[in-house]
Amino acid sequence: MLKAFYSDLAIIRERDPAARGLLEILLCYPGFQALILHRISHKLWNMGLPLFPRILSQLNRSLTGIEIHPGAQIGKGVFIDHGMGVVIGETTEIGNHCLLYQGVTLGGTGKSHGKRHPTLSENVVVGAGAKVLGAIKVGANTRIGAGSVVVRDVEANSTVVGVPGRIIHQSGVRINPLAHSALPDAEATVIRNLMERIDYLETQVRFLNNCLKEMRQGNIPKKIVPGEAQNLKDREIIEFLGDDLNDI
């Protein structure tokens, strides 16, 4: 338990530039406080005490805003950053050096009494507001983008974004757990590809229509040079994709 305590301290000092000292972490970091109380309640839970661990977990929730069931298994060096609204279910397993942001839910599905919550391998980063649901496994070194909803297994060294979560593999690339701005915008990429396809088809339709007009007049159809895409200039699309479409 002491090893886990020191590991939790070390990971905060490593990953949070705002952490200026040991006393500040002890008094002002609810994620750290929640983990200390959880490790005590988890030990009591494993001893078979029926009620007190749950009471301690509810006290933990009231003090820190973080709800962790005493049955959850949490590894060393785990960092719950800010932490308000984090929910961790009974059969959840969290590996070493994982990072959870505020609003994360590691929730269960179904009414069975067996494994019904997710398992996070080592070095997993779960962005703010993300939901990981069910007895699924998230591989090591995986990032889950803010607001994503993950309901299927995720391989190691992956990035997951969207609702439901879509997997973008980054095997062999070392991931900075704090680089949230580097997450890809999968939706914008797909929409741009669709719009380019629509532009191509509209050009073909326009070409065929002009061919028919020329043929009715007894002329040889002229080749039409495709112009600049018009669909991508629509106001609604620009607002969604952003002004600089070339960066997508």
- Intervals of the chain under pLDDT 70: 1, 169-190, 221-248
pLDDT of 225 reads 53
Q: Which long-range contacts (CB under 8 A, 24 or more apart) does 27-31 make?
A: 30/63, 30/64, 30/65, 30/66, 30/80, 30/82, 30/83, 30/84, 31/64, 31/66, 31/79, 31/80, 31/81, 31/82, 31/83, 31/86, 31/100
Torsion sign (Cα): 176, 150, 67, 51: negative
98-138 tens-digit pLDDT: 999 999 999 988 777 889 999 999 999 999 999 999 999 99
SS (H, E, C) the chain: CHHHHHHHHHHHHHHCCCCCCHHHHHHHCHHHHHHHHHHHHHHHHHCCCCCHHHHHHHHHHHHHCCEECCCCEECCCCEECCCCCCEECCCCEECCCCEECCCCEEECCCCCCCCCCCEECCCCEECCCCEEECCCEECCCCEECCCCEECCCECCCEEEECCCCEEEECCCCCCCCCCHHHCCCHHHHHHHHHHHHHHHHHHHHHHHHHHHHHHHCCCCCCCCCCCCCCHHHCHHHHHHHCCCHHHC
Q: Which two tokens stand for residue 32?
A: 């750290």
Tell the burial category of 20 from Cβ atoms under 10 Å away from its Cβ (0-12, 13-18, 19+): exposed
Give pLDDT, residue 231. 55
For residues 82 and 29, give the distance between their C-alpha atoms in angstroms, rounded to a whole number: 7
pLDDT confidence of residue 248: 45
Burial class (CB in 10 A: 0-12, 13-18, 19+), 222: exposed
pLDDT of amino acid 183: 59
